[in-house]
Amino acid sequence: MGKTPFSRFLRKTHGCGELRAEDEGTDVILYGWVDSRRDHGGLIFIDLRDRSGIVQVVSEPKSDAFSVMEKIRPEWVVKVAGKVRMRPIGTENPKMSTGEVEVLATEVQVLREAKTPPFKIEDNIEIDERLRLKYRYLDLRRKEMLKNIILRHKVTLESRKFLSENGFLEIETPYLTKSTPEGARDFLVPCRLNPGRFYALPQSPQLFKQILMVSGVEKYFQIARCFRDEDLRADRQPEHTQIDIEMSFVEEEDIFSLVEALFEKLFEVANLKISSPFMRLSYEEAMMRYGSDKPDIRFELEINNLTNIFRETKIEVFRKAVDNGGIYGIIVPQRLSRKEIDEMNEFVKSKGAAGLAWFILESGEVKSPLTKYASSKELKVLKEKYLDDESTLLVSSGGKYHTLQVLGELRNFIAKKYQLINDSQGFKILWVTDFPLLEWDDEESRWKAKHHPFTRPTDETVDYLEKDPEKVKAHAYDIVINGVEIGGGSLRIFDPVTQTRVFKVLGIDEQEAMKKFGFLLEAFEYGVPPHGGIAIGLDRLAMLIAGRLTIRDVIAFPKTQSGTCLLTGAPDEVDLKQLKELGIRID
């Protein structure tokens, strides 16, 4: 096995996990942490660990190494000099990559002693995650965690390599920039040299990468750090990393094919194979079938539109929904008990729904608390199309998209509860396309951009902008893997007239537009090409490729769900002197 390029400086000849049978007889110098120590009377063994793996070290009685190894304890940092030899027959360890050999120590030097760790440095430990995050430097010593960090490094490296080979330039954009509050909340940074003025940490490099297209770069990418002051969950952090891409003179198909080829390369990093082209669903179809714009398609359990069945119904709760939204149902492939139905009912209520109706087939007849209000025609259709002796139909009604969204969440809940997800299917990847350009915000009583205000409307629907904004579709797309949104992008508006119309519908007048986005709009006056791009969440992608359930497992130093760093104690108070210099007073 090869020596490291810095071996003369470090005097380290090999990594602990690099030694093999062909190294027998080689003199080595190793450095690492003591993983474990075993005293067998006449012999003392330690397992020595570094980033490359673990190797067994043995010392013989009366040697200098033996006297040192008698005192050694786990997690001490040591240097070992010795000779590689084959393990005695019958003592090999096939579970270790170095299991055929051991190092007979001639010299052992303790470089630094260590306190007893608050948890064992081993995989598959069951300890509170907060303790792991507080002692993250110990957590990262564990093989499974280090493996995640190395995989993330390889994904990042392969991204750079692939995009560079395809003509993209990696260009850094500023971290200290202007606040343009049209998405999530900004993290603000006070400017000492300009009292009362603030930088914002970028939620994305969106505006700068569009300006790079005006600059003639044509193909840009960046492994970009982004910051959003939003509520957190398992797949969110206040700071995240994305593979940010922008291209000129392209249509959606160019971006789709590029990303599909990129993903094939990135999954190969973990010896995983995926095939392209990826499945595609329109936003409307995804919502109608799965109740989500990021559906998990590893299991069926699709939503059924029952509105037409109950169009003339006497069931009051359904009748109200016929013209004001819709009636939708999920067929659970087993007979649910009343207790299970009650559990489902409470679940949808927690998501803002009024509740669930249910129907089952018993002795050939449809049974439900609502059957006495239903017509024979309605019951006949339910029996013939939706029910059998081993199923339960759960029904919700109300506003179309809210009802679909609630059933989409119920769908995921049922799939997990009854283990309907088939992990053997691997990765189910799809594009969700044809998003609405706008969405109505009830709190602010205005239209807001579904993605951002520079997303290009489709030619077929742009004329609805002023008269019926809900009908306007966008050249916008998301990429979804196993129910997790991994990235999103769009073609951008490059026509000033269309941009002005979109701003107007969003309630942004010319003066406000110039204040927020004037630098971009002015750049567009000097010749802007048609362009588009995508941002891929590196944290989420690495999480899925690594087979983890939270992005915290693929981030070296993540925050908790409340946005705190348990290792450093951030966020924290600062000196009054610092606040005074910034012209800030805390009430």
Q: Answer yes or no: do 339 and 387 share one domain.
A: yes
Helix axes 400-417, 283-290, angle to 10 degrees: 60
Q: Answer yes or no: do 452 and 556 share one domain.
A: yes
Q: Is the pLDDT of residue 58 over 90?
A: yes
Taking residues 193-218, what's their average pLDDT? 95
Taking residues 482-508, what's their average pLDDT? 94
Asked, for residue 292, whether it belongs to a domain, the answer is: no
Q: Answer yes or no: do 304 and 403 share one domain.
A: yes
Q: Is the pLDDT of residue 484 over 80?
A: yes
Q: Answer yes or no: do 389 and 520 share one domain.
A: no
Single-letter amino acid, residue 339: K
Q: Answer yes or no: do 89 and 173 share one domain.
A: no
pLDDT band at 183 (very low <50, low <70, confident <90, very high): low
The answer to whether the beta carbons of residues 538 and 158 sit under 8 Å apart is: no
Q: Answer yes or no: do 379 and 512 share one domain.
A: no
For residue 70, the number of C-alpha atoms closer than 13 Å in the C-beta half-sphere is 9
Q: Answer yes or no: do 398 and 498 share one domain.
A: no
DSSP 269-331: TTT----SSPEEEEHHHHHHHHSSSS---SS---EEE-TTTTTT---HHHHHHHTTSEEEEEE
Question: What are the beta bridge partners of residue 357?
Answer: 395
Domain that includes residue 437, residue range: 145-282+429-576
For the range 554-560, what are the long-range contacts, defined as Cβ-Cβ under 8 Å and sequence gap of 24 or more? 554/148, 554/149, 554/151, 554/152, 555/237, 556/136, 556/140, 556/149, 557/136, 558/133, 558/237, 559/232, 559/237, 559/238, 559/239, 560/130, 560/133, 560/232
How far apart, in whole angstroms, are the C-alpha atoms of residue 244 and residue 532?
11
CATH number of the domain to which 160 belongs: 3.30.930.10
In the chain, how many domains are there? 3
pLDDT, tens only, 26-37:
999 999 999 999
The angle formed by the CA atoms of residues 84, 90 and 91, to the nearest 5 degrees, is 50
Q: Is the pLDDT of residue 230 over 90?
A: no
Q: Answer yes or no: do 399 and 478 share one domain.
A: no
pLDDT, tens only, 67-120:
999 999 999 999 999 999 999 999 999 999 999 999 999 999 999 999 999 999
Q: Answer yes or no: do 107 and 174 share one domain.
A: no
Domain boundary (405, 421, 437) is at 421
pLDDT band at 2 (very low <50, low <70, confident <90, very high): very low
DSSP 542-557: HHHHHT-SSGGGGSSS
Query: DSSP 3-state assignment of 240?
Result: strand
Structure tokens at 583: 């012209």
Helix and strand element counts for the chain (H, E):
16, 22
Q: Is the pLDDT of residue 480 over 60?
A: yes
How far apart, in whole angstroms, are the C-alpha atoms of residue 105 and residue 110?
13
Q: Answer yes or no: do 477 and 372 share one domain.
A: no
Domain boundary (95, 112, 129) is at 112
Q: Answer yes or no: do 411 and 433 share one domain.
A: no
Q: Is the pLDDT of residue 544 over 60?
A: yes
pLDDT band at 16 (very low <50, low <70, confident <90, very high): very high
Torsion of CA 556, 157, 164, 215, to 10 degrees: 10
Q: Answer yes or no: do 261 and 400 share one domain.
A: no
CATH number of the domain to which 97 belongs: 2.40.50.140
Largest CA distance in the chain: 95
Asked, for residue 293, whether it belongs to a domain, the answer is: no
Asked, for residue 244, whether it belongs to a domain, the answer is: yes
Instruction: Determine if the peptide bond prior to 5 is cis (ω within 30°).
Output: no
**What are the backbone dihedrals phi and psi of residue 504, each rounded to the nearest 5 degrees, phi first?**
-60, -45
For residue 452, the number of C-alpha atoms closer than 13 Å in the C-beta half-sphere is 23
